[in-house]
Amino acid sequence: MLDDVATWREQAGREAEAALAAISAEEDAVARAALEAERRKSALAAIRREEEERLASLDDAALQRKRTSVRTSLKLDRALLEERAAALRRAQAERDAEAALVLDHPSMERHLLAWLEARAAAAAARETDVERRLARDVRQALAPYIGVAHGPPPSIGLPCAGVGVLVSADPPVGVPEAFVMVLPVPEAVYTQASTRAEDLCTLLAYRLVAALYRLLGELDAAGAPVRFETVQGNLAIQVWLGDQLVPDDLRERAMDAVAAAVDGAPELAAAGLEVYAVWLTPDLLAEALT
């Protein structure tokens, strides 16, 4: 009996020790897991801080990207426009040269002189029946060449591309006091108008200036002061509206005015260009281009 008790004691002791060992192992595992969790928690906290900082800086980064984008777009659009202007000039010169070759014939001199005389008579409003008949005959003879001279510009055959006109008003919401357009054309279109040859850039400027004056007329603000300025070498137009009673839908009207001004423009179609207005807040425009 005593031996049984001793055996039981020994076995129970072993079992208890094994249980304690298992508990210790489990405790060690829990401790390791807790340590790992602590490390993980600490790492997550660091990541959280980084993400929170990144989130906080996103607005600034977005604004910086927008500024860069505005500057880059304007630069690229102007380069594209000038490239297409040069291509259109070459195409026009080639077509003119072909037409001039045919015109360069002795018989044409008589027709041309008669046509010029008839045109001068018409301009002086002293046409007679004879002159009118002469003008008709000469027009018929010169019709093919007049067709070239009066026809639309030749297509340069390049794929269609878009260029943007930057438009803004201050304040951006409510009744505006100032209106700005930045055109993707060189300032020389304005500052050297009397010496610089008219090209695609010039014609685009004419259309947009016409759009502006038309818009001001519609707004009953034709007397608003208009200034032509330079922004990074590009032509910019500033209008002071502070003394005018301008409605608060200037943005929509301006976008429509630009779209109408370039709609169906033959030289833009020939150059494969679509022109569209890009509305920017005044602070973005100012920060991007200064």
Residues that bind other proteins (CB under 8 A): 96, 99-100, 103-104, 106, 108-109, 112, 115-116, 119, 123, 142, 145-146, 148-150, 152, 190-191, 193-194, 198, 202-203, 205-207, 209-210, 213-214, 216-217, 222-226, 228, 264-266
Q: What is the closest distance, in whole angstroms, from the C-beta atom of residue 217 to other proteins in the complex? A: 6
Of 250 and 280, nearer to other proteins (C-beta) is 250
Q: What is the closest distance, in whole angstroms, from the C-beta atom of residue 50 to other proteins in the complex? A: 51
Of 122 and 160, nearer to other proteins (C-beta) is 122
Task: Please give the Cα distance from 99 to 78 (Å, whole number).
Answer: 31
Task: Please give the Cα distance from 114 to 102 (Å, whole number).
Answer: 18
Q: Cβ(238)–Cβ(167) under 8 Å?
A: no
Q: What is the closest distance, in whole angstroms, from the C-beta atom of residue 62 to other proteins in the complex? A: 36
Q: What is the closest distance, in whole angstroms, from the C-beta atom of residue 177 to other proteins in the complex? A: 16
**Number of Cβ atoms within 10 Å of the Cβ of 31:** 10
Of 204 and 280, nearer to other proteins (C-beta) is 204
Q: What is the closest distance, in whole angstroms, from the C-beta atom of residue 133 to other proteins in the complex? A: 20
What ranges in the chain are assigned the alpha helix state H?
Answer: 2-103, 106-123, 129-150, 188-191, 200-218, 250-262, 266-270, 282-288
Q: What is the closest distance, in whole angstroms, from the C-beta atom of residue 209 to other proteins in the complex? A: 5
Of 86 and 193, nearer to other proteins (C-beta) is 193
Task: Please give the Cα distance from 103 to 99 (Å, whole number).
Answer: 6
Of 166 and 204, nearer to other proteins (C-beta) is 204
Task: Please give the Cα distance from 262 to 133 (Å, whole number).
Answer: 38
End-to-end C-alpha distance for the chain, whole angstroms: 104
Of 165 and 205, nearer to other proteins (C-beta) is 205
Nearest Cα to Cα of residue 81 among 250, 265, 213, 217: 265
